[in-house]
Amino acid sequence: MTVATATRAEFTKQFSTSMWWLLTIILVAYVAFTAGALAFVFGGVDAGVLPGQGAPVPTEGIAPVLYGLAATVGYVVPLIVGTLMVTGEFRHQTLTATFLTTPRRSTVLWAKIVAGAIIGVGFGIVGTLAAALPSAGILAAFGLPTDLDSRETWALLARVVLAFAIWVLVGIGVGALVRNQVAAVVGVLVFTQFLEPIARTAGAFVDGLDAVTAYLPGAASDALVGSSVFALAGGAAESGLEWWAGGLVLTAYAVVFLVLGYATSWRRDVS
């Protein structure tokens, strides 16, 4: 079986369950609510509708930060999607039939990579729209610039979609390396929602630590996108990486996990 045939089979497997649209709903609700709420806060404070405290709201350049929220807070969804693409097969033992149909295990993994990248693009488009539509509408209602007439803004939106595609590949690598679905998903949630945010926040206050945290996967993703609410809030050091360097670092994580997963867990017996 060729990679193209295996990829078509992979799409059939992924869209034959309800998981893909459940995760889509979670992504849209999470990102849209976060972006819309922050846009309302910034717009409301600037317009005097909400009481402001401390430093003035940086209304200039706030739109790209809100649009980039799709990747900043929503990247856990494509990461889980990629993880479930592999661990789901281990858990339900469907990988045995897959390997019997396609004995070359590298072909199966490549099919997951190709399908995962395409699925990641789809989730990226949905996440980008979920962040941009409500936040742009609210900013416009308050008379704040939406920056949708800027080429830089559209380039940022494209990089958000690219980041989502890479995150799915990272997830596939994690799933190939950690075969147990519960352990893999819990590990992903603990790292993305607790460990890395704490480390990045600490990097804003500990001298020299930001040089290390800039190479964490979430920080690299923010660098790729080119905007981060972490830096805006002052709770984390802003990454010094260029967008292309952030993309290379995030891609390196995907490659490392995929190679390690293939060299260890993927080549072992599955039943």
Q: Where are the alpha helices (DSSP H) in 93-216?
A: 94-101, 105-141, 151-177, 181-190, 196-203, 210-213
Split into its structural domains, the chain has a count of: 1
Contact at 8 Å (CB) between 173 and 251? no
Determine the Cα angle at 250 with ends 248 and 255, to 5°.
85
Confidence (pLDDT) at 102: 82
Confidence (pLDDT) at 56: 55
Domain assignment of residue 36, yes or no: yes
Burial of 209 (0-12, 13-18, 19+ CB in 10 A): middle
Which letter, b or e, does each residue of 27-55 get, where b requires 16 or more Cβ atoms within 10 Å of its Cβ? bbebbbebbbebbbebbbbbeeeeeeeee
CB neighbourhood size of 127 (10 A)? 29
Structural domain harbouring 40: 3-263
Mean pLDDT for 33-37 is 95
Single-letter amino acid, residue 125? I
Domain assignment of residue 65, yes or no: yes
Mean pLDDT for 63-80 is 94
Residue 233's pLDDT band, with cuts at 50, 70 and 90, is low
Domain assignment of residue 119, yes or no: yes
Q: Rounded to whole angstroms, how far apart are CA atoms 28 and 32? A: 6
Confidence (pLDDT) at 235: 47
Q: Provide the whole-model pTM.
A: 0.92
Closest among 86, 99, 51 to 261, alpha carbons compared:
86
Residue 130's pLDDT band, with cuts at 50, 70 and 90, is very high
Domain assignment of residue 271, yes or no: no
Residue 231's pLDDT band, with cuts at 50, 70 and 90, is low
Q: Across the chain, what does the average pLDDT equal?
A: 89
Domain assignment of residue 109, yes or no: yes
236: left (phi over 0), alpha (psi -120 to 50) or beta: beta
Task: Kindly state the tokens that stand for 125.
Answer: 């488009």
Domain assignment of residue 270, yes or no: no
Domain assignment of residue 204, yes or no: yes
Confidence (pLDDT) at 57: 57
Domain assignment of residue 268, yes or no: no
